[in-house]
Structure 1
């Protein structure tokens, strides 16, 4: 009985000591993590080109002094929502005091004429910037396809996004009246390209590039890649 009692008392002491150690460890971690020793005092913004990184960082100033473990992601998202040029972002906490915000800006894929100005828009129709005239190498979306909420715009934007940069820079005016009848003209001698729908755009782009390389570029032609396995080339 005495041996059993000693063993039981020893096990209780070991268990009590382990629990006390664990509580002390958790308490210490919580104390350090939630204390000013681990509070935010530096905000770094990476990836800004059109946006001013200092202005973006200043929009997050209300989070300064907050323990890193208590940073509110929803509040950060709301603060960054005032910048329409931010397409997406990610955050990284670097103890003991730093938050790094890496942003991806919207990039223009086309231009839309609106009165005397030209709006440069991304694939979602968000205005990235405005200019008095269309920059070289930026396709113009015809007026009938310029409503970002329309299926025609979405199809046109999908085609432009799928085109390699070299081909996209050669698109002059692109238009569609439905989702399935995208057509565009090209700079230079004035080629016309019948694209059809935005489906299989990657394949169509490869077919078009090969057709352009294989045909005489001194006179205008129509390239019909709407059925890419059956390319049709006609003289205009």
Structure 2
């Protein structure tokens, strides 16, 4: 702590402020004579400088900003927080808000966790009810898309029974069993909540029929013989050495029968195929059409439509740009 100096009231340097009454340290008698012998001037006497303040209160003039708009010299409130942006000091901010914010985040996270756990529990409970409870058991079995195959046959093949919990029905296995019915081309089994099983089928449609050993078989567009029975009226007969889905000649004949317009297909009584590039159509009016291979079926059909108006018994449209007839 620095030594406090007595304030000096003068304005100049040493010796400049001595007046008629005398100078510091020199006693003056009433007659105005000084006594130099009595002069006592301590060694540590320090004369004030012009730059030194006249008063102790002038030694320090520091103002801590209390905020925007404060004037220098304004009194500082010790209870007021210090703004670090202006004074460079570390601001003292209350911590109560930070603690409250952390507490709120903790409560929010706990609430989210509880809601998530609750939702999982609800889902598990509902699944258990659907899987085991008789409240959601099979009460109705619907069959759609069938016209030849009877619905009881389809239900029996699916091995479905009423009263079974809906969630326990193996729909894929049921569909696989139904697909074993020869006339069924595709099948789909699905659940319809709360208590219905729907079996949707697409039946095979005959495109031609074949005859072997005095027996007739219906064949679909893929070459699959799905039924042994008399063909419906108007169905064309396929004549080829080895009929079947794996035979190239069979596939070529089926490509023609499914690729021509109905006005051509409806006139065909028999389709004879000795090789995939040698296809002959026998029409119902006993005329013959040499077709060739199973390419450009649309062009050949259009050409045949025009040449059939010409008199003849045999028509060759294997080259649709240059048809012949005789």
TM-score class normalised by the smaller sequence:
0.7 to 0.9
| Conservation of the 8 A alpha-carbon contact between 1:139 and 1:174 | yes
1:53 paired to 2:148:
no
1:233 paired to 2:324:
yes
Counterpart for residue 119 of structure 1: 217
Secondary structure of the structure 1 residue equivalent to 2:148: coil
Counterpart for residue 139 of structure 2: 41
> Which one has a larger percent strand, Structure 1 or Structure 2?
1
Counterpart for residue 221 of structure 1: 314
| Conservation of the 8 A alpha-carbon contact between 1:145 and 1:176 | no
Among 296, 306, 314, the alignment partner of 1:200 is: 296
| Conservation of the 8 A alpha-carbon contact between 1:159 and 1:201 | yes
| Conservation of the 8 A alpha-carbon contact between 1:33 and 1:69 | yes
| Conservation of the 8 A alpha-carbon contact between 1:179 and 1:198 | yes
Is the alpha carbon distance of 1:62 and 1:54 closer, same or farther for their aligned partners in structure 2, counting shifts above 3 Å?
A: closer
**1:184 Cα deviation from its structure 2 partner:** 1.1
Counterpart for residue 254 of structure 2: 157
The whole-number CA distance in structure 2 between the counterparts of 1:32 and 1:55 is 31
1:96 paired to 2:194:
yes
Is the alpha carbon distance of 1:207 and 1:91 closer, same or farther for their aligned partners in structure 2, counting shifts above 3 Å?
A: farther
The whole-number CA distance in structure 2 between the counterparts of 1:166 and 1:84 is 29
| Conservation of the 8 A alpha-carbon contact between 2:159 and 2:174 | no
1:82 paired to 2:180:
yes
The whole-number CA distance in structure 1 between the counterparts of 2:233 and 2:322 is 29
Counterpart for residue 74 of structure 2: none
> Which one has a larger percent helix, Structure 1 or Structure 2?
1
Counterpart for residue 21 of structure 2: none
> Which stretch of the first structure deviates more once superposed, 82-91 or 163-172?
163-172
The whole-number CA distance in structure 2 between the counterparts of 1:30 and 1:203 is 59
Secondary structure of the structure 1 residue equivalent to 2:128: helix
Counterpart for residue 121 of structure 2: 24
Structure 1 runs of 4+ with >6 Å offset: none
**1:86 Cα deviation from its structure 2 partner:** 0.3
The whole-number CA distance in structure 2 between the counterparts of 1:198 and 1:69 is 49
Question: Who wins on radius of gyration, i.e. which is larger?
Answer: 2
1:187 paired to 2:284:
yes
Count, aligned residues = 227
Counterpart for residue 68 of structure 1: 166
The whole-number CA distance in structure 2 between the counterparts of 1:70 and 1:205 is 53
Q: TM-score, normalised by structure 2?
A: 0.62
> Which stretch of the first structure deviates more once superposed, 8-17 or 82-91?
8-17
Among 232, 239, 246, the alignment partner of 1:142 is: 239
Counterpart for residue 89 of structure 2: none
The whole-number CA distance in structure 1 between the counterparts of 2:169 and 2:299 is 45
**1:18 Cα deviation from its structure 2 partner:** 1.6
The whole-number CA distance in structure 2 between the counterparts of 1:148 and 1:3 is 78
The whole-number CA distance in structure 2 between the counterparts of 1:103 and 1:84 is 12
Is the alpha carbon distance of 1:8 and 1:117 closer, same or farther for their aligned partners in structure 2, counting shifts above 3 Å?
A: closer
**1:185 Cα deviation from its structure 2 partner:** 1.2
- The runs of 5 or more residues in structure 2 that have no matched partner are 1-95
RMSD: 2.5
| Conservation of the 8 A alpha-carbon contact between 2:179 and 2:187 | no
- The runs of 5 or more residues in structure 1 that have no matched partner are none
